[in-house]
Amino acid sequence: MENEITQEKNKNQRFDKAVEISVQLFLERGIDDVKMTDIAEKSGIGVATLYRYFGTKTGIAIAAMTYLWNDMKSMFSGIFESDIFLRQSGLKQVTDLMRMFLVLYEAHPSFMKLLSEFDLLILRERVSKDELKEYDRSVINFYPIIEKSFMTGISDGTIRDGIDFKLFYLAYAHSLMELSKKLIQGELLPSDDFSAGAKELETLIETAVYYLRKD
């Protein structure tokens, strides 16, 4: 029995190490440019063992992205339960929460670039929703936090009535996330100019705040 526990512990340690190494390599080189042999060589874990643990490179990519989102969660945890944050008006709380997309863009560009590549991988490999359940749970979900702040704004009179909150959230969250990924992907056309990328995101946030603000 003790031997079985030890074996399981060792397996979990190897699994975690493989994920951490793959995260490092994916951030440095991108998913497409990293081979399973690269992960095996750097982690000291055999290629056959990696395939046994993860099935495919797509499997280890899902595990790596799940790890990264969980890491982001731990980074932001506690901020929005702080007294400083909660003493603000509902509108200011919503504004600060939306600015988290700007933080991701400015402070974590390699993560956002990798996120774009991962989205393409999911589409290319036709990864099923069932395979993405754990990944989906790891993604930072600002919806319930922003909804709570939105309702605070309705109560304190800083946010106007009559807004379909779910529609508002989806429209702006999707816009901010996709704009961030496009800006980080880089200029493609001769007419592209992403030199004011942060300002573009700030403008989108300002229009959202203007839409919410009660006259």
Phi, psi angles (nearest 5°) of residue 213: -60, 135
User: Is pLDDT at 215 greater than 70 in this prediction?
Assistant: yes
Res. 186 pLDDT band, cuts 50 70 90:
confident
> pLDDT tens digits for 106-138?
999 999 999 999 999 999 999 999 999 999 999
> pLDDT tens digits for 49-72?
999 999 999 999 999 999 999 988
Whether this model's pTM surpasses 0.75: yes
User: Is pLDDT at 42 greater than 90 in this prediction?
Assistant: yes
Block residue for tokens 């996330």:
177
Taking a C-beta distance cutoff of 8 angstroms, is the pair 30, 114 a contact?
Answer: yes
Burial of 91 (C-beta count, 10 Å sphere; 0-12/13-18/19+)? buried
Spatial distance between the Cα atoms of 52 and 69, rounded to a whole number of angstroms: 24
Which comes out higher in pLDDT, residue 212 or 141? Answer: 212
Alpha helices by DSSP H, 44-190? 47-54, 57-76, 83-86, 90-107, 109-124, 133-138, 143-156, 165-185
Cα 140 to chain centroid distance, Å, stands at: 6
Cβ-based neighbours of 1, under 8 Å, separated by 6 or more: none
User: Is pLDDT at 23 greater than 90 in this prediction?
Assistant: yes
Block residue for tokens 């969250």:
173
Q: Which domains does the chain have, with CATH numbers?
A: 1-55 (1.10.10.60), 75-212 (1.10.357)
Residue 10, pLDDT score: 54
Residue 4, pLDDT score: 46
Taking a C-beta distance cutoff of 8 angstroms, is the pair 153, 91 a contact?
Answer: yes
User: Is pLDDT at 35 greater than 80 in this prediction?
Assistant: yes
